């Protein structure tokens, strides 16, 4: 039963990766269809990011008030709504509206499952969990590429929404599995939580936040603009191939996290972080 639950959690993390790589891979075709400047992708990305920040700030409160399983269900449902909304738009401003549930849902899954896995499983499981994020992020650019080959970018979002809906269905029918760790979660929830200001006083936290900011600034840049770069500089490459390029970047993420999962029990956190920073710099 515990193994089945872990499989469902991994599947839920695949659902977290699915929406993240679609905008970047599909934007060259979307920009042309909506007749807007290339830079307008940034406003959509910023709206999604703003919603993830809001979701992150409210996540600790939600985790206290609701069971993690329900946060996961609601969050995946929000991303399904966002994806379906993206698949139906015919004007640019509509993307900004649908970016709200798109961003709110994704970050809630991330925060809730990270909390749950950290409370109930080993660090090695956590690394593999984030590896499955990469699996989802690899799948969706290829869905978009196939959609551009056979239909249009709207179909890319629609087909991804259908896949996300299937994952939502699996999560719903697997709700009884979450009873496995219910007692442990009740025990952990009785402990006093640490506020933001108190957390900032912990040695190393501010540097960690700076490191995260630096890393994700780079990550967000190449996730969003790689396909647009090739579309703008390599006019002889077809749009479906350009869309699939995004999956290469996420493939690197998946591989790195897979390797980290295998070696995390042999190396300290500090060594893993240093190796990661050096590798990224190279």
Q: pLDDT tens for residues 190-213? A: 445 566 778 888 888 898 888 888
Give kind and range of the element (H or E) at residue 191. none
Query: Full-prediction pTM beyond 0.85?
Result: yes
The predicted pLDDT at position 149 comes to 92
Chain center to CA of 31: 23
Percentage of the chain beyond pLDDT 90 is: 41
Q: Are 16 and 117 in contact (CB under 8 A)?
A: no
The predicted pLDDT at position 130 comes to 80
Closest CA to 12 of 185, 170, 177: 170
Q: Which residue would you say has higher pLDDT here, 127 or 228?
A: 228
pLDDT tier at 1 (50, 70, 90 boundaries)?
A: low
Which of 11-20, 23-32, 240-249 comes out lowest in average pLDDT?
240-249
Alpha carbons 106 and 51: distance in angstroms, whole number: 9
Alpha carbons 116 and 69: distance in angstroms, whole number: 9
As a whole number, mean pLDDT of residues 118-130 equals 79
The predicted pLDDT at position 190 comes to 42
Concatenated DSSP letters for 47-86?
HHHHHHHHHHHHHHHHHHHS-HHHHHHHHHHHHHHHHHHH
Alpha carbons 180 and 1: distance in angstroms, whole number: 7
pLDDT tier at 129 (50, 70, 90 boundaries)?
A: confident
Q: Which residue would you say has higher pLDDT here, 46 or 249?
A: 46
Closest CA to 217 of 54, 36, 42: 42
Work out the mean pLDDT of the chain and round it to a whole number: 87
Across the chain, where does the E strand assignment appear?
none
Q: Tens of pLDDT along 161-176?
A: 999 999 999 999 999 9
Asked whether residue 13 carries a pLDDT value surpassing 50, the answer given is: yes
Domains of the chain in start order, with CATH, are 2-189+203-281 (1.20.1250.20)
Q: Which 3 state secondary structure label does DSSP give 266?
A: coil
pLDDT tier at 214 (50, 70, 90 boundaries)?
A: confident
């Amino acid at each position: 039963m515990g193994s089945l639950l872990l499989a469902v959690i991994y599947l839920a993390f695949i659902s977290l990766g699915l929406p993240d790589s679609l905008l970047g891979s599909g934007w060259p075709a979307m920009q042309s269809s909506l007749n807007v400047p290339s830079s307008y992708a940034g406003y959509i990305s910023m709206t999604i990011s703003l919603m993830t920040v809001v979701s992150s700030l409210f996540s600790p409160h939600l985790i206290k008030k609701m069971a993690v399983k329900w946060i996961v269900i609601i969050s995946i449902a929000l991303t399904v709504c966002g994806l379906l909304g993206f698949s139906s738009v015919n004007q640019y401003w509509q993307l900004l509206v649908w970016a709200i549930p798109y961003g709110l849902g994704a970050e809630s899954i991330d925060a809730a499952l990270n909390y749950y896995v950290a409370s109930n499983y080993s660090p090695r499981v956590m690394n593999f969990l984030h590896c499955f994020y990469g699996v989802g992020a690899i799948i969706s650019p290829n869905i978009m590429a196939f959609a551009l080959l056979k239909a249009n970018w709207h179909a890319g979002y629609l087909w991804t929404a259908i896949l996300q809906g299937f994952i939502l269905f699996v999560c719903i029918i697997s709700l009884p599995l979450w009873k496995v760790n219910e007692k442990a979660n009740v025990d952990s929830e009785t402990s006093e939580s640490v506020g933001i200001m108190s957390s900032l006083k912990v040695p190393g936290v501010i540097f960690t936040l700076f490191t995260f900011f630096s890393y994700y600034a780079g990550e967000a840049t190449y996730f969003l603009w790689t396909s647009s770069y090739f579309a703008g500089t390599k006019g002889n490459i077809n749009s479906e191939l350009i869309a699939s390029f995004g999956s290469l970047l996420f493939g690197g993420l998946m591989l790195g996290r897979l390797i980290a999962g295998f070696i995390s029990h042999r190396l300290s956190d500090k060594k893993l972080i240093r190796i990661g920073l050096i590798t990224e710099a190279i």
